Structure 1
C-alpha cells in the first residue's frame, strides 16, 4: 500500500516521470512552526545530481506545502506537500517496453497490475521517497522539539569496504565500546563532510574509489547504511506484532533497493554467549535506569529502554546499469538490453536521509501512540502501583 503509520500517517503519491511527487501527512500535532525551510534541507540531501557519486539527473526537488499550515504554523489538519519532476527523459526507457530490466520491478509490476509505467521505475523508483523524506523532516522536527530526539544515519560500507569498528565488530573485544562512543557523538555535519556520507575519512576515500571504478565500468555496487536514534523516550513500541524493531524493519525494508536489516547486535549476536550478550542495568545519576552495554540496540521486549537505538540497512547494487545485458524479452526470446537513463552507481550516500526519514516516521507514530495511552491512563483514579506489585488488589488513592 502507499500509506505508512497509524496515528502519524503518511501517504505518498507520484511516479518517477509524472508531473510531480509528494505526500499527504495526517496526524501532525497543531501549533508547531513549520515552513518549507524545515523540509528542504533533507530533500536537498536526497536529491539526484548532487555530485559525481550520484545520478546526473538534475532535479532541484523544491518543495511546496499545499495545505495544513497557516502563517507558518501547523493547524492539525492534513499537510499536503508537492515536488515537481522537471528533468524528465522518457525516451531513455523505450527498450523497457520490449525487455524487463534484470532485477528491476518491470516484470513484477506488469504481472501484478496488468500494466506498468512506460518510463522509469514508476512507483518502484527511488523518486517516490521524496514524500517520505518530506514527511520525515516534519516528524523529526516535532521529535526534536518535544523530546530532544536526534537521528543520524551514515554510509557504513560500500562493496567490501567498511568502517573498521563496523566490519570488525564480530572479531574485536574493543569494537563494541568504540561503536557505543561513536554512536553517542556522531553528528549529521560529520556525515555530510564527505560526499560519500561516510564519517570515517580513510574509509570514505576507499568507498569513493570503489564507486568511481564501478561507474567507469558502467556498473553498480551496494553497501550499508547505519543509523542511530538518541534520546528516544522510554516505552515506545506496541507488542506483540508492532514491536519497535519490527515496525522499524518494516519501514526500512520498504525503501527501494533494500535487501537486509539488522538491529542492535544483529547477526553477530548469534555468535555470542548469553552472559556476553546480556546488557546489565545500572542506575544513572538522574535516577533513571541504564545499561552498561547495548547489544539490545535500545529495545527490549519490543519496547524502547532509553538507550541509543541503532540498526543497519543493506542496499543492493542498483539494478539499472549501462552495460549490455543478455536477458529475455516479454515474449521469452533471448536478446540484449542496452539500458539507457541516468542512474546511481551506488545508492548508499543518497539513501542516508531516506533512512533517517523512515526512522523519524516510526518513532513519531510510536510516540503518539504512547502519549495517547498515557493520556487515557491519566483519566483514571490513581492507584498504588507498589501495593499492586505485592500481589494484592490495587489500592485506590
Structure 2
C-alpha cells in the first residue's frame, strides 16, 4: 500500500509523526553533497510557522527546535539521507478526549474513520497542521539549494477575508513587518481588525497566499503528466487547508479573450521574453523564463468555538463546541509552508531537467 507520505522523485521528501505524538520529522533523500546547511538556517524557516507568536495563532507554545540527525557533516550535506526531528513539548491531549466520540465539521475525522476504521483524534494526528513542520524543514534545504542556482522563492498573504494587499512592491522586509505576513501594512491593519471582529464572534477567516518563484531557467518541467504547473499544484494542494490553486491569470483566464490572455513574445537583447505574464511563467508544462506566480486558496480554520451541528460515532445528530487551542486563521503560518512545497517541487524538477538534452550531459562529463 502506498502510504502517501512522500513527495518528489530525485529530491524526495518523506514526513512522519503526529500532532500529539513524541515528535514530527522528515527524511530528505537526494540532496546533493556539499550544500552548506545548519540547524540555525533551518530554524529561521520553522520560526515563521511556529505557534504562539501573535494573537492570531494558536496559543499552544512550542519552540519547534529542529535537530539534524543524519546527512550533514561539518556544516555540509553528505549526499546521504538527511533526517530531521522536532520534538513535541506541550501536548494537551485531554483537550481532545471528547473528539473521539464525534466528527468535527470541516476536519478529516469522518474520512479517516471510514478509510482506516481507526484514527488518532489527538489534534488530528497526521491530518494536523503540525505535520507541515517536516515540509518546512525540507523546504528550507530546497530553498537554500535553489539560492545557489540563482532561484528565489517568496510567499506572502495576498488576501485575508477578502481584504487584498497591494502587491506592486513586495519585499521580504515588508512581509515580515506584518503579523499576518502581508506585504502591505495598510491592508494588514484592516485584516487584523476583521480578525478581531471574527474572534469575538467565535469564528475564523480564510485567505489567499501568493508565491513567486524567480530565476527559474527556461525548460524546467515535462510536457505531459509531469508538467511543472501540475506538480506545483499537487505540491501545494497537498497542504491540508488549501482548497484551490491557480497559476498566472488562473481562473480569470476563463473570462478573457485569446487576444488578451496570450503573452506576446519580444526580444530582450539576445533573449526571448514576454510583454505580459498571464501564463504565470509556465507554457505547456515547461518554464518559460518568466517569474512563476502561484496562488493558493486557504480555507477558514474549521475548529471554532461557536456551536456547530455534527454527528457522533453512534449515528446521532448532536451539537458541539470545539475545545482546545486553535488558530483563528491558518493563512499566516501557512505562508512558509506554501513557500516550502513550491521550493521542494521546483528543485526536484530542476534536477530532473538536467538530463533533457545531450548537451547538458556532455557538458557535465567533460568536466570530469
**TM-score interval, smaller chain:** over 0.9
What displacement does 1:376 show? 7.7
Q: CA RMSD in A?
A: 1.4
- The answer on whether the counterparts of 1:9 and 1:26 sit within 8 Å (CA) in structure 2 is yes
Deviates more, 1:18-27 or 1:31-40: 31-40
Give the corresponding residue for 2:18: 15
Give the corresponding residue for 1:290: 273
- The answer on whether the counterparts of 1:264 and 1:296 sit within 8 Å (CA) in structure 2 is yes
Tell me the alpha carbon deviations over residues 127-186 of structure 1, each in whole angstroms, 9 at most, x when there is no partner: 0000000000001101101x211111111111121225xxxxxxxxxxxxxx6xx3xx52
What displacement does 1:374 show? 4.1
Residues 1:101 and 2:104 are matched in the alignment: yes
Give the corresponding residue for 2:334: 351
Aligned partner of residue 349 in structure 1, secondary structure: helix
Give the corresponding residue for 1:72: 75
Aligned partner of residue 192 in structure 1, secondary structure: helix
CA distance in 1: counterparts of 2:37 and 2:276, whole angstroms: 38
Give the corresponding residue for 2:313: 330
Residues 1:360 and 2:360 are matched in the alignment: no
- The aligned runs of 1:1-397 (5 Å cut-off) are 1-145=4-148, 147-163=149-165, 182=168, 186-285=170-269, 287-374=270-357, 378-379=361-362
Aligned partner of residue 378 in structure 1, secondary structure: helix
- The answer on whether the counterparts of 1:152 and 1:186 sit within 8 Å (CA) in structure 2 is no
CA distance in 2: counterparts of 1:246 and 1:18, whole angstroms: 33
Aligned partner of residue 247 in structure 1, secondary structure: helix
CA distance in 2: counterparts of 1:273 and 1:48, whole angstroms: 44
Tell me the alpha carbon deviations over residues 48-73 of structure 1, each in whole angstroms, 9 at most, x when there is no partner: 11101111111111001000011111
Name the count of aligned residue pairs.
360
Gaps of 5+ in 2: 364-368
- The answer on whether the counterparts of 2:354 and 2:360 sit within 8 Å (CA) in structure 1 is no
- The answer on whether the counterparts of 2:171 and 2:183 sit within 8 Å (CA) in structure 1 is no
What displacement does 1:329 show? 0.9
CA distance in 2: counterparts of 1:70 and 1:132, whole angstroms: 22
CA distance in 2: counterparts of 1:229 and 1:78, whole angstroms: 26
What displacement does 1:94 show? 1.1
CA distance in 1: counterparts of 2:173 and 2:124, whole angstroms: 32
CA distance in 2: counterparts of 1:199 and 1:154, whole angstroms: 7
* Structure (1 or 2) with the larger CA radius of gyration: 1
